[in-house]
Amino acid sequence: MSDGSGGRRKKRLTLIASLEGLEKAKKSLLRLGFESLSNFAEAQLLSRSSVSNFFTRKPIQLDTFKRICEGLTLEWQDIAGMTKENINKESKENKTNLSSSAEVGVEPVKTLVRQITVSDDSSQKVKAEIKLRGDVDSLQNIQLIASILREYGGGTIKIIDIQEGSIKLIIEGSQEDIDRLLLQIESGELTEIDGFPIKSTQVLSEDLEYEGSSKEKWRLVNEIVNNPTTGRNLENVDLSDADLMRANLRGANLSGANLSGANLSGGDLIDAYFKEADFLYVSTGLNQYDLSLANLSGTDLSGADLRHANLSGANLSGANLSGANLMRADLRGANLRGADLRGANLRGAELINTNLRLSNLRGADLSGADLSCTDLTGADLRLTNLRYANLSRTDLTGADLSRAIR
């Protein structure tokens, strides 16, 4: 049986809006005439849950954070508390705290303090790339990293993107500040940033328009929503936090795709291929997206992590869910006729009034599941764990219960 522990995909870098940034975001939402968060989410092709998380100061992925700020016509660095003003304010607070610690005889923590050089913000901007050794999901304090870059370079420097792998910082600033920062690195004065060793640096060509991966992602989402096509190849693509409600994904290859936090409710997913797709919402460990009433007939969801997913009323007839993790999933009224659920984890799942006729549940874990009023006619339940399952008014006509655990 699958334990559905996940772990196939690394966590993404997440951000939380600062308190001041959140107030700016709320004012911008009203200024732009959005009547509700739902209206804003729909306009940005974002799932409602990701927008809600932003406005309740829960961690959300960097690219989603940037998408929301762009839709509100705000600078994401400002909303995240990474601007020069925020950093100077935080620096003053740190100095005050250090003085207080010294007064009571507490050993103060040593911190890097440098004079920030303020350059002319109107001068031509230059982009550069700094690669650090480490993983994006290991980053803890982007504000501190932005502060260090400004301390060694100058006041115009800001992070405009962060990419995964070996951490790749794309920065922008005046020619003077970028040159100063890179000189500090080349001279050996600056060898690491917040504990991450510097691997390499380069100035990006002036005629090269830098396009972050997040821009490509949202272009693709827009293409899927507005130009429906059958049989798209979306293998290993990132569609996390996207609003794909009622989207045409018929016959699409979504194997290995990142669908965490995405809204797929009401979508046409007939014959789509979802093998090893990632549905796990990274900030909470629970799936926030909605697949209720979705047509998933004949789809391949083998090994997919669908914990806590809302699949009520969905059409999963003939679908391959072998080894899938459906723990505590809502499958009330769903059609799973002839579905392959071998070795699936259905612990605590809601299967009330579900059609499981002729389905293959061999070796599945249904312990604690609610199967009341469910149709299991002709189902293969050999070696299935039915301990503590609710089987009241369940139709088990012709079902094979050989060596089932009850």
Question: How far apart (Å, rounded) are the C-alpha atoms in residues 46 and 159?
Answer: 23
- Which pLDDT value is given to residue 331? 96
Looking at the domain 84-203, which fold is it? Alpha-Beta Plaits (3.30.70)
DSSP 125-139: EEEEEEEESS-GGG-
- Residues 373/393, Cβ–Cβ less than 8 Å: yes
- Which pLDDT value is given to residue 214? 74
- Residues 17/25, Cβ–Cβ less than 8 Å: yes
- Which pLDDT value is given to residue 85? 57
Sequence-distant (6+) residues with CB within 8 A of 311 are: 291, 292, 294, 296, 326, 329, 330, 331, 334
- Which pLDDT value is given to residue 100? 43
Token pair belonging to 55? 């406005």
DSSP 247-295: -B-TT-B-TT-B-TT-B-TT-B-TT-B-TT-B---TTTSS---B-TT-B
| DSSP 8-class letter at 370 | B
Question: How far apart (Å, rounded) are the C-alpha atoms in residues 302 and 305?
Answer: 9
- Which pLDDT value is given to residue 44? 95
Question: How far apart (Å, rounded) are the C-alpha atoms in residues 279 and 15?
Answer: 20
- Residues 128/201, Cβ–Cβ less than 8 Å: yes
| pTM assigned to the model | 0.66
Using only the alpha carbons of the chain, give its radius of gyration. Answer: 26
For residue 175, the one-letter residue type is Q
Kindly give the confidence (pLDDT) of every residue in the chain, 406 residues in length, as a single tens digit, with 9 standing for 90 and above: 333 333 344 456 788 999 999 999 999 999 999 999 999 999 999 988 889 999 999 988 888 999 999 999 999 989 988 865 555 554 454 444 434 434 444 443 333 333 333 334 445 788 899 999 887 766 777 888 888 998 999 889 988 888 776 788 888 899 999 999 999 999 999 999 988 999 999 888 654 444 556 788 999 999 999 998 999 999 989 898 898 888 888 888 988 888 877 877 777 878 888 766 666 542 223 344 467 787 788 877 888 778 888 889 989 999 889 998 999 999 999 999 999 999 999 999 999 999 999 999 999 999 999 999 999 999 999 999 999 999 999 999 999 999 999 8
Domain ranges in the chain are 84-203
